A = this chain, B = another copy of it.
Amino acid sequence: MLIPLLSLLALAQATPPASSPAPLPSDVAAQDWRPIPDDELLVMTLTGNRIVVIRLAARFAPQHVANVRTLAKAGWWDASSVYRVQENWVAQWGDATEKKKLAPGVVETPAAEYEIGAFTVAQRLSKPDSHSTASGFSADGWPIATDGKAAWLTHCYGMVGVARGPAPDTGSGSELFTPIGQSARRLDRNYTVVGRIIEGMKYLSALPRSDAAMGVYATEAERSGIVSIRLASDMPATERPKFEYRSTDNARFAAYIKLRENPAPPTIGSGGVELCEVPLATRSVPAK
């Protein structure tokens, strides 16, 4: 039964402000939207036709992304699962047994890609945070932090990291995870970030939590089945999703950050915003 409109309006009066998941069209100029290449889109299909789309950080973690592409092309994840969901921590997927042989061409232990070449951002936030001396966004919409010496992609909610064994083993990329809470920034510089979930995060964040050790589901029945993981570039043209990201190297995004840092009265602002609090917009577009 639909809630009457009047009731919805009443609700709007007593709720925290909308989270602005999507910017208003007026905030974004047409040229701010730029295409994400098909081979930087990873499409994970969970049972029940729940689609999760990951944007790959190809230029920041090229070796791990190469592995991910090889695994996707080999259909390596087909019939695998989301096998770990730990409250206020991570959801993790891949081969629950961790015994499955990797696909040919996958480098089992690539060199670490915990850090990136340089702190090159189009928009810098006004205030440092607890983990860095400066942070901001690359022109192509990735969250980046620095301590003045090194720079790195940050483990914000919805970013995709590579699970691994003890350092310096960085993991192949076959087991991936995403932070589902508010506490993963301490993984920065210790784990390789390979991407960010741009659609369907709700299918991972709302999975039942496990109370077993490290949140690994104690039974097979608890796991969420993965039907397939494919690169968009390997999908038939008719099924292939198309996405654009909102670029940050423009006055509209600068104004957006400024408003987040200094909201309009009567809202009290702090003059700052935490990197992981800023929604990074993408949008689905029709195939051409």
A287 contacts the other chain (CB 8 A): no
Where chain A touches its partner, the secondary structure class is loop
A32-40, A51-59, A80-88, A245-253 - interface stretch: A80-88
CA distance A25 to B177 in the complex (A): 29
Chain B residues with CB below 8 A from A244, complex form: none
Chain B residues with CB below 8 A from A201, complex form: 87-88
26 A–B contacts, CB within 8 A, in A order:
A1-B221, A3-B96, A8-B216, A11-B98, A12-B214, A13-B166, A14-B98, A15-B163, A15-B175, A15-B214, A15-B216, A16-B161, A16-B177, A17-B187, A19-B88, A19-B183, A88-B201, A114-B268, A129-B130, A130-B273, A156-B182, A180-B205, A186-B270, A186-B273, A186-B277, A190-B268
CA distance A177 to B16 in the complex (A): 8
Binding site for B on A (CB under 8 A): 1-3, 7-8, 10-19, 21, 83-84, 86-90, 92, 96-99, 114, 125, 127-132, 147, 156-158, 161, 163-168, 171, 175, 177, 179-191, 201-202, 205-209, 213-214, 216-221, 260, 263, 266-270, 272-277, 279
